[in-house]
Structure 1
Amino acid sequence: MVVFACAECGAVMTARVTRVALPDHAHQKYGHDLLPGLLEPGTYAVDPGDGRPWEPLRPEPEERGVRLLTYCVSGPPDRIAIAPGDVRGTVFIPERLGGCCCGWDGQYGPNLACAECGRPVATRVDDCGFWQVVWLEPEAVRPVAVAGPVQRVIDWTELPSTPPVDPRGYWSPLWRAAVAVALAHLLTVSGGKRVSVPEGPVAEVFRRAIDGLLPPGPAERHLVLAGPGLPAETPDIALVPRHPQTGEVWPCDAEAVVPLAADVWTYLAFHDDRRLAPAAYGMPAVVRRDDPPPLLPHSLFRPDGRVFLSTLERLAADATQPWLRRIHDRVKDRPSMGPFA
């Protein structure tokens, strides 16, 4: 357990926090409503920011007067995400708070300064469409070990589960981000070959994207759910859970592994959303049910296109496969294309 202190004067900037894995939706922008916090109170996560810009697939010579474009992947490396309520000893920087809608989006740089010495130390993000978070600048703060309860790491059999649909009938933004990350991993390990997926919920969230991004024809690779509580097997490509605290990927002997956020994986593995039909007569109207049927979405599933692109860029920064870059460029140039529209 640590607190973060100002690197300039040593003033404590946060409550006691414990590290967890960075959520897939950390940089997602979704809708125009106010979203909840990115992290649970008492936790922090580090954004590796380890992507590198991609050069165009066919760059034109500079002497021909063509401006070479690159694709920005992420912000500065090692920024520290923390729940807004865990921040201490800071004041707002007024000149960096303008130009937003319902809050602040950090577009003008760090907007929180140390209350003791005035050094800019963090960026608060709480505008509509953004998950609420404070990003500590790594060069402006330092971790200080403190006494506190040891974090209990949950067992693989205790993984959480998040429903795919919200009460309004919309697909969960957490699902859209998590599947987008897994889809980028799946394309990277597919080798550009057609991939089959198991029928049911997995097909509902992956098949449309596979149909739109990989070439048609018979499947040459096969994606199978694998993980705690499922029969042991050695599949071609395994869709496995990623631990929400440690970030560890479920160990598997598959030829290739595609990690998926644990709460989404658990729902795919152990929930059956099919509605049951009575064999004879329906339940009397006066009988009150304590197990309402699951909510069903009113639209096709769409992975988050921005999250997909940023993940693909990070995974394939050193890739030499032209087919993978063509997929990236096609999605980037047409963000409303099939699986993302």
Structure 2
Amino acid sequence: MLDIKCGWVDAVSPGRCFSDGSSPKNPPLPLRSGLRFLDSAGAAGNSMEAIATYSALVYDDDPRRRAVTCEALERVGFSCRGSGRTAEAKKLMHGVDHDLAVVDVRAAERRQLAVLAAAVARAPGAKTVAITNAGNPDLMRKLFAYGVDEVAIAPIDMSGFAMKALSLFEIDRWRAELSTPLGAESPQDLLRRIEKTLLSRSDELGGCYDAVFDQEGDAGEPPLGIYEFIESYNSPRSASGSLWLRTTGEQREFARVTTRTSTENVPVTKHGECAGEGFRAILCDISEAGALMIHTRAVPLTNLAMRWYCVTKNLRVTVPAHVVRCESIGRFYEVGVRFD
């Protein structure tokens, strides 16, 4: 929980003017969702050098504070849309795609709490931050009971507030970067090395599995929702680490890296002939020795021919593999394979 004791005024950039209490009139802000930062008065927010990473909706009936909050969030990569009108804010919370909702409830009025309830009721994945005053523990308990992700206590240092809001989305990646020793191989370099090794194996096969894939034809598209499921289930493993493949009474450890690549898979015999219906799955983790995939149904312990496009090069790799485990995770299955 935030408890930072500085003022709002410190976060205002030099030269930003608020002549009538409205938000500053600057060039349009490019948003990831295609929106502009427009407050209820129709004023456009400041431009950014880079496209925003996340989108935010800010509700505060004080136009000056609202503009300062949006400015701080924009500095760390958010695109912002602000409103000070209750009905408009509730409509935005329900009707506009966003990653973050910031709701000022310092007055603890019913209209403010109504906007907060609309923000919390948004689709899963969006984060909600409430801003309130100190000295009201009952309200804070209610806020967390509503499902708020973070509570900020005014007065606020806005730079710290913005970084805390960003951490709601980036904390796993930051931890992974901090846990990587200096001079260690980066995930991108590791993925490049792994794919280079697998491409060499693929070249050695000389296209001997092409007929298998031609026979099966198009394996179709990944099912809806599978990428979102992988992100929510597998996010703690999003950085370089170790991949364990369990074989018959044996464990082997290899450097692995996370990827989100769609792969075609066809069951084959030990002689490389088609032995079943092909399917498409998503590679989660990959190493030089094996991989973890997510699929919609259980996969028996069998031989596979696998084919996918590399991430670091626009080349297709084909390798034989063997399924060594298959475990249920919710409505999907995690499939561990060992490359032969």
Rg bigger for which structure? Answer: 2
TM-score normalized with structure 2 length: 0.23
TM-score normalized with structure 1 length: 0.23
Higher RCO (C-alpha under 8 Å, 6+ residues apart): 1
In terms of fraction of residues, the more helix-rich structure is 2
